[in-house]
């Protein structure tokens, strides 16, 4: 079955950096675009960044200039997070969208604290 697995989360100090990865396995093809979402306790899941199959990128205003979304193959996506703030603390989710379905990972915890 299709599986999306996030990794790279952890505890960092304010101003530090983390690099999240999303690995896709299983019978998934023709991914149109992939997205990173994050969810705060008691809140809905919000879009952080998006990258299309053609390489177009979009970012939420709150992370613009600090986060960079990228990919090195159609089934691997990264989120480089620099200058991290306490308000970046959340569970980060990988999302892959095809013409047929939308897939989600289980999430990885990012905690920014001193």
Helix count and strand count (H, E) for the chain = 0, 11
Task: Return the H-helix or E-strand segment holding 25.
Answer: strand 18-25
Q: Count CB neighbours of 30 within 10 A.
A: 9
Task: Give the per-residue pLDDT at 29.
Answer: 77
Res 27 pLDDT > 90: no
Q: How sure is the predictor about 51, in pLDDT bands with cuts at 50, 70 and 90? A: very high
Report the mean per-residue pLDDT for the chain.
95
Judged against a pLDDT cut of 90, whether residue 81 lies above it is answered with yes
Residue 52 has pLDDT above 90, yes or no: yes
- CB-based contact 82:66 (threshold 8 Å): yes
């Amino acid at each position: 079955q299709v599986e999306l697995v996030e990794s790279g989360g952890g505890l960092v100090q304010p101003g530090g950096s983390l690099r999240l990865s999303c690995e896709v396995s299983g019978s998934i093809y023709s991914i149109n675009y992939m997205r990173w979402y994050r969810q705060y306790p008691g809140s809905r899941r919000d879009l952080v960044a998006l990258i299309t199959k053609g390489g177009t990128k979009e970012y939420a205003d709150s992370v613009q200039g600090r986060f960079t979304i990228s990919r090195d193959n159609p089934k691997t996506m990264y989120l480089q997070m620099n200058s991290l703030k306490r308000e970046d603390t959340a569970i980060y989710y990988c999302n892959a969208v095809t013409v047929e379905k939308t897939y989600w990972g289980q999430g990885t915890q990012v905690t920014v604290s001193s």
